[in-house]
Amino acid sequence: MRWMLLILSSQIGAGYASGQEIWQFFGVESGLAIILFTVMFTISAYIVLKISYRVQSTHFLPVLEHLMGPALAKVYDVLIMFYLFSTTTVMIAGGGVTLQMYKLPFWIGISLFCIVTVCLFFWDIKGILSLNSILIPILVAGLLYALIFFQTTHHYTWTIDLTRQFNWPASITFTSLNILSVVAVLSSVGKDMKGLGEAKIASIASGLIFGVISFVYNETLVQLSGSLTQYEIPLFAVLEGAPYPLFLCMAAVLFLAIYTTTVTGLFGLSSRMLVFVKLPRWMLVFLLLAVMVPFTTIGFSDLIAILYPIYGLLSLYLLVCLLLYPILGRWKKV
């Protein structure tokens, strides 16, 4: 259960919870794409957990070396560190913006966000897992409640034509987008796992939950496709006509998504950097946040717009390595 929650916390960020990622990658004729994504994501998560457990890794470099060899692993090592740094910086900025909804100035919001984050790392992995056991069920339940509320109040009928599923390639790009954070986070828990049984349960359960939410969310957005252009955040289209308290609750859900993604990103990044510096994890996280915060307002989004396509292309190879591992792994003992 704890590893399932860790996987979900690394994946359900603000972009996903708001519906932007779902609508950007899927949309009409995407039922098959979401099924394929669920399968590939489940396999990838299990393979990462399996290798991580077998090599007893505490960060992602040993897993990368096993998947693609030492030379390429060094390239992806740098890539993942920069990916975690950049995405976490964006999440911090998002946390500050979200708290502005509650009349807090941007910098005060970011400061509070960072303080709460650092405090959590006093308890290291135990603190993160304990937090996930509380926040992730709330996050998942909140999303499902909003989607079910929409379906019960609008009475739309889902129509899925199995002969018209031409958007299936989106499953590959969406899986590859998510695979870097999967490798970064799950590679850090090898020493804390008790067996491969945990890996199987965590990967299957998280894949199914992720897949079901994605499918329901996408079908809901398809029904609203005519009005989505009026909303910057697709989730608000889903909540149109809902009671105001539900809007406030979903704003809190978006904030939780930002926070849990920030925490897991910092966990993966700090796990790798603890190899180079001998500091308590909370102190390293504090230093990382101190470096990240200045980047939240100096055009970092433009840099991300350039880097994300590069991340996507490079992560495709990593995804191929993971999916081929069950075939090639039999010739290679961990």
What is the pLDDT at residue 6?
87
Tell me the two tokens of residue 141. Answer: 């339940």
- Look at residue 334 and tell me whether its pLDDT is greater than 60: no
Task: Answer yes or no: is pLDDT of 181 > 90.
Answer: no
The pLDDT assigned to 289 comes to 94
- Report residue 303's pLDDT band, with 50, 70 and 90 as the boundaries: low
In this structure, which amino acid lies at residue 162?
L
d(CA 250, CA 247): 5
Buried b (16+ CB within 10 A) or exposed e, 62-83: bbbbbbbeeeebeebbebbbeb
Three-point CA angle 181, 182, 183, nearest 5°: 90
Contact in structure between 10 and 261 (CB atoms under 8 Å): yes
Q: Using an 8 Å Cβ cutoff, are 38 and 211 in contact? A: yes
Mean pLDDT of 237-261: 82
Is residue 304's pLDDT more than 60? Answer: no
Please tell me the predicted confidence (pLDDT) of residue 90: 82
Exposure pattern of 104-114 as b/e (b: 16+ CB <10 Å)? beeeebbbebb
How many Cα atoms occupy the beta-carbon half-sphere of 325 within 13 Å? 26
pLDDT at 45: 92
For residue 217, the one-letter residue type is Y
Query: Phi and psi dihedrals of 165, rounded to 5?
Result: -125, 60
What pLDDT, on a 0 to 100 scale, did the predictor assign at position 152?
83
DSSP 219-235: HHHHHTTTTGGG-SSHH
Secondary structure element (H or E) that encloses residue 15, with its range:
helix 14-17
> What's the mean pLDDT in 2-30?
84
Choose between 304 and 115: higher pLDDT: 115
How far CA 185 is from CA of 125, 147, 256, in Å, comes to: 11, 28, 18
Q: What is the pLDDT of residues 43-90, one digit of tens each?
A: 999 999 999 999 898 888 899 988 888 888 998 898 889 888 988 888
- Helix intervals (H) in 101-195: 106-120, 124-154, 170-186
Determine contact, residues 213/143, Cβ cutoff 8 Å: yes
Q: Where are the domains of the chain?
A: 2-151+164-331
| 141: amino acid identity, one letter | A
Per-residue pLDDT of 25-56, as tens digits, reads: 888 888 889 999 999 999 999 999 999 999 89
pLDDT at 86: 85
Mean pLDDT for 4-15 is: 83
3-state helix, strand, coil in the chain (%, to 5): 80, 0, 20
Q: 115-170 pLDDT, tens per residue?
A: 999 999 988 888 888 888 888 888 888 888 888 888 888 776 676 666 777 888 88
CB 238 within 8 A of CB 128: no
Query: Nearest Cα to 50, choosing from 194, 189, 196?
Result: 196
Instruction: Kindly indicate the confidence band of residue 306, based on its pLDDT and cuts at 50, 70 and 90.
Output: low
The CATH number for 2-151+164-331, chosen from 3.40.190.10, 3.90.79.10, 1.10.1240.10, 1.10.4160.10, is 1.10.4160.10
Question: Side chain identity at 333, as an amino acid letter?
Answer: K
Single pTM value for the model? 0.85
- Cβ atoms of 80 and 10 closer than 8 Å: no
117 vs 326, more confident = 117
Cα pseudo-dihedral 259, 262, 267, 270, rounded to 10: -140
| Summary mean pLDDT of the chain | 84
- Cβ atoms within 10 A of the Cβ of 102, count? 11
